[in-house]
Structure 1
Amino acid sequence: MDGGVQVSETTSKTNTGAGRVENEGPFTRFLRATEVDVRLLGMIVALLAIWVGFHLYGEIVNGRGAFLSARNLWNLSVQTASIGVMATGMVLVIVTRHIDLSVGSILGFCAMMMAIIQVWVLPEYLGLGHPLIWIITVICGLLIGAAIGAFHGYLIAYLNIPAFIVTLGGLLVWRGAAFLLARGETISPVDTTFALLGGGPYGAIGATGSWIVGILICLGIVSLLVSGRRQRSRYNFPLRPMWAEIFLGAVGCGVTIGFVLLVNSYYWPRGIVRQYVEANNITTPVNEIFISHGFAIPVLILLAVGIVMTFLTARTRFGRYVFAIGGNPEAAELAGINTRWVTVKIFALMGLLCGLSAVIASARLNSATNNLGTLDELYVIAAAVIGGTSFAGGIGTIYGAILGAVVMQSLQTGMVLIGFDAAIQQMVVGGVLVVAVWIDTMYRNRAK
């Protein structure tokens, strides 16, 4: 009797599910087949709308749209790097239901420390322009950032001080410490090799190097799709249709090739070309020389960080622990996870990434100022949340955070191009952050 009821119910559910699949529209079937995240797709659409909107605004008001130019998009990619690097670490912080308000101040402090080391200290011992100066400086910046982050993590995990309070205090302490280090002075110029890490004509890899990177990325995309399909087949998991695999590979490689064409279409300014011609005794007229920027070094750093952080979160025990803690901290601790030590490591990693962002930001400015990194914490948090990281914990992606950083930087760059002042820019950033959290709340309520 009971068995008959169970079979009947199962049959009913199966028929209902089959009817639901049959009633799905083509777009829904496409999303289900390709397994594309709806929120990711929404971010891409919003990003394209922002780009087109700012460009058309420039066309209408100024008679010339500048946003979609190769120059602006190349600069946008460089400007995104610093925020994007920190946003990948903020994902882990927010996933574990914490927050870090000190990232901008840590960036400023690390930048000031690195400037002092490479401008005031190392030249006294190694000599001006020594090839080890930039290497020692970068290592010191990363270690200082990691140490600060680990200290914050210790206060949060072992002294049970809320992360909001610890990092709010850190925001004030490290900003003040950066001011005291140089008495409010701007320290410049930085080491010439160090400055290349910030981008610019000489801080890029050129057309040939960019094509090599693009081909490697395309090969990586294809290999990931192939290996992923093999893994699914090995463990009898459902496979995506072959057309979906081909579509994903084609889109990924197409976007990569398009990006390579874009960065290679932005040429050195005539003034830089003239200096290059004079320095190398080139007889060809300047107006006949076109040298592509290619990928800027900060963009390659962001790409490398994204790959490493994705591997760390998806393929390591540490990454599984992070999401387990975010999903249910009490259950994770009962399962034997040392939640306190993992928290320390998360904040140490966040500090390390702040140090790396300090390298990019100070190298790009060729100096360290007391205001470097001011309000970056807002852009970093907003980038992570826009990218799908939930304040409720347990949900977040690295690629989403990087895309969120592109969205935030696009808004800021677009507002600068159309002449919005700093006050309006801050208002827009605050509004976008609130809307992003509201969308996340609505999304989670619908998923229940």
Structure 2
Amino acid sequence: MTQSAQQTARDGKDGNVLSRFLKATEIDTRLLGMVGALLLIWIGFHFYGMMKFGTGAFLTPRNLWNLSVQTASIGIMACGMVLVIVTRHIDLSVGSVLGFTAMIMGMVQVRWLPEVFGLGHPMIVVLTILVGLVLGAMVGALHGWLIAYRGIPAFIVTLGGLLVWRGMAFLVARGETISPVDSTFALLGGGPYGSVGALGSWIVGAICCAGVVFLIVNGRSQRRKFDFPLRPVWAEYFLAALGCGLIVGTVLLFNNYPWPIGIVRQYAAANDITLPEGGLFISHGFAIPVLILIAVGISMTILMTRTRFGRYVFAIGGNPDAALLAGIDVKWVTVKIFALMGFLTALAAIVASARLNSATNALGTLDELYVIAAAVIGGTSLAGGVGTIYGAILGALVMQSLKTGMVLIGFDAAIQNIVVGAVLVLAVYVDILYRKRSK
């Protein structure tokens, strides 16, 4: 046997251990790359802070909890942007639509409804949320109608929307900041009272772990039912352990972030609690915006992978002409995609304005950049036909990590914009290289 033949046999036998592992577990290599990049960003910022300030502030429960809350609104919109980009469109208006819907909701709950129901009435929050979500869906549907039925390119329609809805937000309140929002509405933005606490987080964690196990067991059952190749049993156990381990680790991390001392004292005084000598430790746990993002991510994943609508979206993105010939109503699906994008943008506006406790004209500025970047970094191809929801959420976390890390170490806004722009271009380049390699 020649040396080259021996090497080939050795390579086949080794099979490259990593490649065989990835094949057995079916872990997406792009997902692994994003996770690796995210960890590199986190560790890099943490150690840079240690060298510059003597202490690392990034990898702490406080910062990671805040990072999760800051990621929520961008992540919610990125889930919708995946559908838009998969079908070869773009939406440049999401930041302005967010600002417009937030301003309308601010006016509804601060100025209009209190005159009808009185301050603090529970119907104010319900009606405010309904108005915001319906308005967002209508704005998105209008964009979709112009694109699908009037043949105007999505770039032009949404670029016009970027200007129109930002101007409308200004006109609604004549440039004023609307605050404070309803106290119940403000809970949707997170904070000590806008979190579910230690017990609630463990309940959420247990439900998520049960969901991971169910998906693995059900997936294996479905593969056996339709005679598809099965993953090795050890791979199934590994994936279950990995998923549950990450969930438990996240719960422990968030439960390790306590309420601020001042708020603990206020809480103790309001509830007639005597503070112990060492103080009272009350965990934040999962913030409500993070739970909203998780719910959106799960719902959108089911929509994209388990429904006829999701199959239509990928079919249109893969080849619009073939999808039309196959009987898919491409125009109507396009309207629904943009309506869903508007709905999710309004949901993000709820989270963003509740977190800020006000509606301002600047709310949502440049969010379109971060949302598109999150989707692209998450593996959504600008050529259409390829994209995942979990990838977009991870991409949003990467973008927000960069932004938060640069703020912590003192980079000014100009440097932040340069880095974000460079990362977006790099992400598109990597996508091009990946698609060429896959052919």
Q: Work out whether the TM-score is over 0.5.
A: yes
Identity %: 72
For 2:57, the equivalent position in structure 1 comes to 66
Q: Output the amino acid matched with 1:336.
A: G
CA shift, 1:387, in A, is 0.5
Tell me, yes or no, if structure 1 residue 271 matches structure 2 residue 268. no
CA shift, 1:23, in A, is 5.3
> Structure 2 matches for 1:147-296, cutoff 5 A?
147-285=138-276, 287-296=278-287
CA shift, 1:18, in A, is 9.9
For 2:4, the equivalent position in structure 1 comes to none
Which of 334, 346, 362 is the equivalent residue of 1:343? 334
For 1:48, the equivalent position in structure 2 comes to 39
Distance 2:129 2:396 in 1: 23
For 1:305, the equivalent position in structure 2 comes to 296
Distance 2:275 2:75 in 1: 40
For 1:128, the equivalent position in structure 2 comes to 119
> How many corresponding residue pairs?
432
| Distance change >3 Å, CA 204–CA 396, structure 1 → 2 | same
Cα deviation per residue 1:79-136 (whole Å; 9 max; x = unaligned)? 0000000000000000000000000000000000000000000000011000111111
Note if contact 1:273-1:286 (Cα within 8 Å) is conserved in structure 2: no
| Distance change >3 Å, CA 21–CA 121, structure 1 → 2 | farther
Cα deviation per residue 1:284-333 (whole Å; 9 max; x = unaligned)? 34742100000000000000000100000000100000000000000000
Q: Output the amino acid matched with 1:300.
A: L
Which of 379, 386, 395 is the equivalent residue of 1:404? 395
Note if contact 1:82-1:357 (Cα within 8 Å) is conserved in structure 2: yes
| Distance change >3 Å, CA 18–CA 399, structure 1 → 2 | farther
For 2:386, the equivalent position in structure 1 comes to 395
SS in 2 for 1:362: helix
CA shift, 1:217, in A, is 0.2
| Distance change >3 Å, CA 237–CA 19, structure 1 → 2 | farther
Note if contact 1:268-1:290 (Cα within 8 Å) is conserved in structure 2: yes
CA shift, 1:143, in A, is 0.5
SS in 2 for 1:283: coil
Tell me, yes or no, if structure 1 residue 75 matches structure 2 residue 60. no
Q: CA RMSD in A?
A: 1.2
CA shift, 1:21, in A, is 5.0
Tell me, yes or no, if structure 1 residue 447 matches structure 2 residue 438. yes
**Normalized against structure 2, the TM-score is what?**
0.97
Distance 1:229 1:125 in 2: 56
For 1:6, the equivalent position in structure 2 comes to none
Note if contact 1:197-1:359 (Cα within 8 Å) is conserved in structure 2: yes
CA shift, 1:19, in A, is 9.2
Note if contact 1:104-1:375 (Cα within 8 Å) is conserved in structure 2: yes
Tell me, yes or no, if structure 1 residue 119 matches structure 2 residue 110. yes
Cα deviation per residue 1:135-183 (whole Å; 9 max; x = unaligned)? 1101110001000000000000000000000000000000011011111
Q: Output the amino acid matched with 1:395.
A: V
For 1:8, the equivalent position in structure 2 comes to none
CA shift, 1:22, in A, is 3.7
Runs of 4+ in 1 over 6 A off after TM superposition: 17-20
Which of 22, 28, 38 is the equivalent residue of 1:31? 22
Distance 1:223 1:346 in 2: 29
| Distance change >3 Å, CA 429–CA 133, structure 1 → 2 | same
SS in 2 for 1:288: coil
Distance 2:378 2:105 in 1: 31
SS in 1 for 2:122: coil
Cα deviation per residue 1:332-360 (whole Å; 9 max; x = unaligned)? 00000000000000000000000000000
Distance 1:381 1:316 in 2: 24
